[in-house]
Amino acid sequence: MTVDATKPYDDDNIFAKILRGEIPSTKVYEDEWAFAFEDINPQAKLHILVIPKANYVSWDDFSARASDSEIAGFIRAVGHVAREHDLVEPGYRLLANVGHYAGQEVPHLHVHLFGRQPLGPMIAK
């Protein structure tokens, strides 16, 4: 199932439940703006999800409605997680899917952080 990024936030999505502690996760980082945890179905040697603590459906929703401090805090958290896991060299990939065409599956903004291996082309041909 993919997400319609124009719909309102759903408080029952899996990431909202993880934030509330209703579903367990393997936390790798947390601050006032973001929560990062290991993906349960990793697509690379390292696959971490970073989510904002506030209720945003997608990157589009976040960039339109979040405060400057929320945006700065979240982006800094993503960078912190990458540096904390020694990914800057040789490199890593960030991915944020928005909506149905991109394959967004959970209606809560999340950034996938992939690393520790060559990742190939950005889009399969």
Stated as kind and residue range, the H or E segment containing 113 is strand 111-115
Give dist(CA 117, CA 20) in Å, integer: 32
The four Cα atoms 111, 54, 35, 57 give a dihedral, to 10 degrees, of: -30
Q: Which positions are annotated as active-site residues?
A: 110
Strand 34-38 with 27-30, pairing: antiparallel
